Structure formats: structure tokens, C-alpha cells
Amino acid sequence: MTSEPALAAPPAARAARPARRRGGVVAFHVLAVAALLLSVAATATLGAADVSLVNVRDILLNHLGLADVPVRVSEDAIVWQDRVPRSLVAAACGAGLGLCGLVMQSLLRNPLADPFVLGISSGASTGAVAVAILGLGTGLGLSAGAFVGAVAAFAFTLVLSRLTRSGSTGTLLAGVAATHLFSALTSLVVFAFADSDETRGVMFWLLGSLEGIRWPDVVLTASVVAVGAVVVLAHARRLDAFAFGEDVAASLGVPVARVRAVLLLLTALVTATLVSVAGTVGFVGLVLPHVARLVVGPGHTRTVPATIVLGALSMVWIDALSRVAFSPTPLPVGVGTALVGVPVFVVLLVRRRRVP
């Protein structure tokens, strides 16, 4: 006597599952974006000068042309010229670094890959410091210098990785070497050529600093991250194919060399721009892609926007807490990301080990 497959779901139920899953992912992104907007407003109330959330709302509505509410000139300047741009740049940094980490982990098939670990952040710091202190590259801004340094550091990582022929492990070790090399070069430039005031400012910036952020910084970082997000989303399906290896991706019709070159150069550009504005910020690109995959699954059409939103949301609050934790002296935001990122990453590692 054969048993009926009573536990098998009917076709209609099986067809409904992907729809429910998609609906849950969409709801998550909507709620996350709403939380991000509320967080930008809420963090604008935090600081040495108290500003109520109602006043923040009125100031934002006034500048957006949606209201004309009388507010104090001092509060308007604090919120609109200082705190809101800072929160928006923090959001852009979190989104961009998380996106870069996701791309690198997917291309290199290594869960430990991120711009900080693979030397891109250190190279960008070296390029920016060379422009600021040595005056190299006449006419170059910090962003251009940081981009040159980021590309140089990543090229060094790739060449060393190719020479060792050790796969993703070799790439990771080459990145560690690049990180230490370019960090040493940065320290050498600062030690040999910077005066005491420059040294203090550069060292604070290298730890990650969002002090003195203004609206042009918002435009620059948001524009670069937006372009990066569009390009990565356009390559989402191809990144899915990379999960099975480059040979499989090529057999599926993916132009492996071109996709890898485009996305890695994009990663260098985004990282360099963010480093030139905010300094070196670690662990965001390493941790956030793992959190996003845990929440929405591995598909890049879902993971890319989730990583962007979660990265932005986390950085807004990490920067806000770093700003007020030791007020009136702000804690470097890079220190804050490490203090938060390391425990989260440890939890993710332990959880991954327990999952069969």
C-alpha cells in the first residue's frame, strides 16, 4: 500500500511562497528606508546644543519649501549646516562601504573581503595624505589623490595575489600586506613632512572623522554612492553567477574579465571618495553584507538594496553615538564602527559555525 504525499504543498501554495517572500522583502526595505529618514531627523537633535525633534522637523520643512515656521537662527544653522549634512554623509559612507564589501565578497568569493582588509582604504588614505601634505599632483583634490592611491593599493594586492596563485586566501593575505605597506607609507609621510598641527589633524582623520562636513560633501558622496548602486544593481544577476565560480559564470555567458574590472574599479572609486571625505572607516564593508544576506537571502537583487539601507542606518547611529559619547570631544567614527562591528562579526562567525 502506497502512502499519499499528504504533506506535499499544493501547487497554488508553492506558487504563493515566492510572492510572500518578495512581499516580505519589499516591506523590509520600506520600513528600513522609513527608519533611515526618521534616524536622520532624530540624530539631528543630539549634540552639545539641545534641539527638539519638533524644531528639527520645522527646520527641515522650511528648507524643503514645505513650511514657513519661525525658528531660531542658531538652531537653524546647527541643524541645517552641521548635523543634517553630517548624518547624510554618514549614511552615504555606510551605504557605499557596505556596497563595496558586498561586491568584493561576491567577486572574490571570500567572506572576509572588504575595502579595509584588501588595502583599498589604506591606499586611499596614502593618496589623500600625499596630496594634502606633500602637494603631489598639482590641481588634484583629495578625492582624486585618494582614488589614485586606492587603485595603486588594489593593483598591488591583485599582482601579489596572482604571483602567489593561492586563490581567495592568497588575495586576502596580499590585501593584508597592502594594508600594512600603505599604512606605513602614510605614517612615513606624516612623520617626515607634517608639522605638529597637521599630524594631529591627519591622525584624527585617519581614524575616521565627520567633523566639518558640509553640503558639497553630501552631494559628492551621495552622487558617487548612487552611481555605484545603479551599476551594481545592473550587474546583480551576473554577481549571482560568480557565486558558483568564474568558470561557471563564463559558461553562463557572463563576460567575467569585463565585469570584474568594471566592478573592482567602481569599488576603488567609491571607497576613495568616501575615504577622502570621512577618513578610514573599517568593518562596515565586512559586516553589513553578512547581515543583509541573513535578513533577505543571498540573491543580489535583494542583498544590494538591503546592504545599502542597513549600512546607511547603522552608520547614522554609530556616528551620532560617537559624537555624543565623549562630548564635547567627538570619538572618531572609525573607532565607533570597530567597537560595534567586531562584536557583531563575532556573533555572525559563531552563528555560521553552528549552522550545518
Range among 9-18, 101-110, 304-313, 337-346 with highest mean pLDDT value: 304-313
Of the pLDDT bands very low, low, confident and very high (cuts 50, 70, 90), residue 5 is: very low
b vs e for 40-73, b when ≥16 Cβ sit within 10 Å of the residue's Cβ?
Answer: bbbbbbbbeeebeeebbebbbebeeeeeeeebee
Residue 155's pLDDT is what?
86
pTM of the full predicted structure?
0.86
Q: Taking residues 86-105, what's their average pLDDT?
A: 95
Which stretch of 32-41, 135-144, 343-352 has the lowest confidence by average pLDDT? 135-144
Question: Is the pLDDT confidence value at 107 over 80?
Answer: yes
Residue 17's pLDDT is what?
57
Cis status, amide bond into 328, omega within 30 of 0: yes
**Could you tell me which of 234, 231, 299 has the C-alpha nearest to residue 22?**
299
- Cα separation of 209 and 334, whole Å? 7
Alpha helices (runs of H) in the chain, residue ranges in sequence order: 11-43, 53-63, 73-76, 84-108, 120-129, 142-164, 167-193, 196-206, 215-234, 236-242, 246-251, 256-278, 284-296, 300-325, 333-354
Contact 268, 149 (CB under 8 A): no
**Could you tell me which of 307, 341, 283, 350 has the C-alpha nearest to residue 28?**
307
Range among 88-97, 109-118, 267-276 with highest mean pLDDT value: 88-97
Residue 193's pLDDT is what?
87
Residue 3's pLDDT is what?
47
Of the pLDDT bands very low, low, confident and very high (cuts 50, 70, 90), residue 10 is: low
Residue 15's pLDDT is what?
47
Percentage above 90 pLDDT, the chain: 38
The separation between the first and the last C-alpha atoms of the chain, rounded to the nearest angstrom, is: 35
Average pLDDT, the chain: 85
Residue 1's pLDDT is what?
46
Of the pLDDT bands very low, low, confident and very high (cuts 50, 70, 90), residue 128 is: confident
Residue 318's pLDDT is what?
94
Q: Taking residues 115-136, what's their average pLDDT?
A: 85
